Amino acid sequence: DIQMTQSPSSVSASVGDRVTISCRASQGISSYLAWYQQKPGKAPKLLVYAASSLQSGVPSRFSGSGSGTDFTLTISSLQPEDFATYYCQQANSFTLTFGGGTKVEIK
Amino acid sequence: QVQLQESGPGLVKPSETLSLTCTVSGGSISNYFWSWIRQPPGKGLEWIGYIYYTGSTDYNPSLKSRVTISVDTSKNQFSLKLNSVTAADTAVYYCARPNWGNWYFDLWGRGTLVTVSS
């Protein structure tokens, strides 16, 4: 299986801050990577797919980049509704696998 | 719009079989792949497996010996069975649908908590 490692596991930030979350794959996955946002008690929500394509309806302050083994999710100006946990997921090969999550907390 | 709803017992005894159903409403189950994903309390996401509407399946090797996913196109439903459960199988179970043509999950059910306890 391809292992997905996210860092940091948590980050404290203020409204308006730029936040960057990293995801590393244990082997190359081309651009077959997605990012999800999950709020407590809710299902994950797809934000970015194919490493850098924004899902319909997702605010443009979210962006994704990377290919191969290293990927980044950036929130350009953190908003109150962005405090949540973020997960990456590789879609290159089965078994589909997720990163361990990054919790974005209020500073 | 298409919606997914999980249903099934919220409490299962150790060694017994966990059974859940996902009902697809607002659209057809045909021509899509469908998946189950779970999340233990306070932990990350684990893909369990998928089924195509024709019945073909693939499972996470870590669960393959205990998992069966089936589909009933006449009811627009697909189901999960996980046998010989232990406390480690306690989780929120989600049904989800990937984007057509790839494996990014753009449609999720609300999830259902299944607790394994005597």
Contacts with A, B 8-37, CB within 8 Å: none
Say whether residue A13 is in contact with chain B using an 8 A CB cutoff: no
The span from the CA of B67 to the CA of B83, in Å, is 7
Which residue in B62, B104, B110 is closest to A91 by CB distance?
Answer: B104
Query: Which residue of chain A has the CA closest to B97?
Result: A46
C-beta atoms of B45 and A98 within 8 A: yes
Helix (H) or strand (E) holding A87: strand A85-90
Quote the pLDDT of residue B100: 76
> What confidence tens digit (pLDDT) does each residue in A32-78 have?
999 999 999 999 999 999 999 999 999 999 999 999 999 999 999 99
C-beta atoms of B104 and A89 within 8 A: yes
Strand pairing report for A85-90 and A97-98: antiparallel
Which residue in A42, A95, A98 is closest to B44 by CB distance?
Answer: A98
Say whether residue A35 is in contact with chain B using an 8 A CB cutoff: no
Q: Which of A20, A12, A102, A89 lies closest to A48 in space, CA to CA?
A: A89
C-beta atoms of B105 and A36 within 8 A: yes
Query: What's the one-letter identity of residue B113?
Result: L
pLDDT along chain B (118 residues), means of 10: 97 98 97 97 97 96 97 97 98 94 95 98
